[in-house]
């Protein structure tokens, strides 16, 4: 049976992370601005707050020892000790930070350490990373999963060691880490909208598996609703709320991700690629692909980086 979550993680192609150990003494606060990179944080000891910015004001999470957070596309966020508010916007942060081997010392070094974190970021090497990340929750918070803490320790150790086959081991650890975090989060009501939340809903999970199994099928909202054994209106509302986008928008995004993968491989004729992603003719596929990606499929096949350049 097709596993949508495994397919998305495999297409993302996670690569070597940056990881560091952070020792902190309250009170402290740190603000970071990333360029859309995946950011993760594991609380090894103590606790802290994490505020994730958004146009609507953002979300603040209170984290304790054993908690794990993944932000698939981090842009602006702040962490702080439990005894002070997290900084917002342009609010200045004056917490002293000192470099130390393998990480950083945060807060007054004369005060006792009360929090230990493992933080870092990885890279999604897929040219479709932005599209695929849009299928994931905006943030992932997992509590009470010792397996994740163990995996994070392994990732941190491997990233700092110069061992044979280091890059291969890291890539595999990252895939396992992502899948563990995503499937654990899908079982929690607090998961933000995305593929993971939908996979925790049995009727929607059946529909998503069928959709991933046969993206070329002539799907309609009514047909997808029958797969879920729901009325058309109930299915549309339930899917849109769980995934964060309407069913046909999700289907189009997945078809385009598969099309881009097949075009990069350059092993199939254009007509077969069009058929595999649900288009009866090369011209219909070309129109849809160009509208979605910004350049014709033939040109994308020759130079996938042209799409990122906005050509």
Span 157-182, average pLDDT = 77
Higher-pLDDT residue of 42, 311: 42
- In 117-130, which positions are buried (b, 16+ CB within 10 angstroms) versus exposed (e)? bbbbbbbbebbbbe
Predicted confidence (pLDDT) at residue 306 exceeds the cutoff of 50: yes
Distance CA 5, CA 191 (A): 15
Higher-pLDDT residue of 90, 169: 169
Least confident of 123-127, 150-154, 195-199, 229-233: 123-127
Question: Residues for the chain: how many in total?
Answer: 311
Q: What is the pLDDT of residue 190?
A: 44
User: What's the burial of 206, exposed, middle or buried (CB within 10 Å: 0-12/13-18/19+)?
Assistant: middle
Distance CA 93, CA 78 (A): 10
For residue 225, name the pLDDT band (cuts at 50, 70, 90): very high
The residues pairing with 60 across neighbouring beta strands, listed in sequence order, are: 51
Higher-pLDDT residue of 199, 104: 104
Largest CA distance in the chain: 70
Q: What is the pLDDT of residue 189?
A: 45
Predicted confidence (pLDDT) at residue 130 exceeds the cutoff of 90: no
For residue 236, name the pLDDT band (cuts at 50, 70, 90): very high
Span 243-258, average pLDDT = 91
Statement: the pTM of the whole predicted model exceeds 0.85: no
Predicted confidence (pLDDT) at residue 311 exceeds the cutoff of 50: no
Give the angle 201-203-206 at the CA atoms, nearest 5°: 100
Span 176-199, average pLDDT = 69
Q: Kindly state the DSSP code that residue 107 receives in the 8-state scheme.
A: S
């Amino acid at each position: 049976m097709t596993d949508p979550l495994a397919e998305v993680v495999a297409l993302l192609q996670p690569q070597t992370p940056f990881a560091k150990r952070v020792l902190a003494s309250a009170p402290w606060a740190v603000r970071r601005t990333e360029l859309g990179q995946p950011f993760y944080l594991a609380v090894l000891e103590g606790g802290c707050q994490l505020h994730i910015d958004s146009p609507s004001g953002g979300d603040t999470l209170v984290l304790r020892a054993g908690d794990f957070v993944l932000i698939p596309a981090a842009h602006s966020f702040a962490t702080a000790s439990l005894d002070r508010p997290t900084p917002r916007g342009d609010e200045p942060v004056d917490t002293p930070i000192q470099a130390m081997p393998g990480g950083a010392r945060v807060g007054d070094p004369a005060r006792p350490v009360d929090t230990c974190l493992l933080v870092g970021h990885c890279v999604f090497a897929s040219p479709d990373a932005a599209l695929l990340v849009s299928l994931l929750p905006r943030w992932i918070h997992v509590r009470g999963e010792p397996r994740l803490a163990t995996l994070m320790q392994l990732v941190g150790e491997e990233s700092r060691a110069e061992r044979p086959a280091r890059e291969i081991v890291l890539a595999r650890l990252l895939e396992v880490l992502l899948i563990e975090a995503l499937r654990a989060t899908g079982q929690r009501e607090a998961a933000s909208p995305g593929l993971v939340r939908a996979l925790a809903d049995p009727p929607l999970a059946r529909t998503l598996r069928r959709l991933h199994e046969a993206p070329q099928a002539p799907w309609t909202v009514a047909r997808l609703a029958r797969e879920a054994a729901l009325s058309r209106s109930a299915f549309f509302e339930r899917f849109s709320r769980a995934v964060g986008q309407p069913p046909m928008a999700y289907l189009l995004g997945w078809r385009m991700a598969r099309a881009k993968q097949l075009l990069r491989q350059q092993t199939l004729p254009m007509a077969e690629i069009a058929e595999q992603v649900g288009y009866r003719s090369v011209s219909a596929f070309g129109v849809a692909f160009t509208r979605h990606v910004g350049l014709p499929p033939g040109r994308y096949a020759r130079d996938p980086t042209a799409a990122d350049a906005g050509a």
